[in-house]
Amino acid sequence: MRAPRRALTSAETTASETTSGGRPSRAEAEDAVRTLLRWAGDDPAREGLLDTPSRVVRSYEEFFSGYTEDPVEILKRTFKEVEGYDEMVVLKDIRFESHCEHHIAPIIGKAHVGYLPKCRVVGISKLARIVEIYARRLQIQEKLTAQIANTLQDVLDPKGVAVVVDAAHQCMTTRGVHKPGVTMVTSRMLGLFRTNPSTRREFLAMIATPSNHLHNV
């Protein structure tokens, strides 16, 4: 009888293998960081930078963990025992951190999410998780707003979904035009939030965002 194959340790796996789909190994990613350090004009072999490549790779695992999670799976568990509740459900001020896909610079802001249930609701933590999953990918704010809203509409099938995102982009506050204090506001309105002005106004009043400040996507 053949002995069971020993499982590779994390270090062995990342050092010796390239993951499926052509994704670079951890060792290759760390080498890329060393290249960038040299390109910036520093010496990755000096004491202060010796552990920087591994730290950067670990931070990237956290920053972009949204690629490893499925937002649809998160929303599959819903609750039907709501005593006929069919009014608006709103979760506001969901803080998120993302990165712009053009400069990999931080995007830091808040998302406000609302929906009108038909007969089922989802746990409120799941709304925050959806924001988090999409934020932890390379993004532009318009796409992030649409992804959150579209996923909620497709999976929950409510009467409508509303999403407003308000964020600061360090690609324009700390570089380029250098305009600190500027935020961008985007919105995505679906179902009754798009077709019924009073429903939309109620949502905007709940999150206290004037409608004339919105950039619809």
**Residue 171 catalytic?**
yes
- Residues 6 or more apart whose Cβ sits within 8 Å of residue 4: none
Catalytic residue among 103, 142, 170, 202, which? 103
Gap between the Cα atoms of 173 and 183, Å rounded: 9
Catalytic residue among 30, 99, 100, 147, which? 100
Q: What angle do CA 171, 187, 128 make, to 5 degrees?
A: 80
Catalytic residue among 30, 99, 153, 169, which? 169
Catalytic residue among 101, 142, 170, 202, which? 101
**Residue 215 catalytic?**
no
Catalytic residue among 73, 102, 213, 215, which? 102
- Give start and end residues of each alpha helix (H) in 41-120: 52-63, 71-75
Task: For the sheet with 160-169, list strands across it.
Answer: 138-139, 89-100, 106-116, 160-169, 184-191, 215-216
**Residue 141 catalytic?**
yes
- For 21, the token pair is 């789909």
Closest C-alpha among 170, 124, 129, 166 to residue 145: 166
Q: Residues 210, 147: contact at Cβ < 8 Å?
A: no
Gap between the Cα atoms of 146 and 2, Å rounded: 52
**Residue 100 catalytic?**
yes
Catalytic residue among 97, 170, 171, 202, which? 171
Catalytic residue among 30, 112, 139, 141, which? 141
- Give start and end residues of each alpha helix (H) in 41-140: 52-63, 71-75, 124-135
**Residue 101 catalytic?**
yes
Helix 124-135 × helix 141-156 angle, to 10°? 140
- Active-site amino acid positions: 100-103, 141, 169, 171
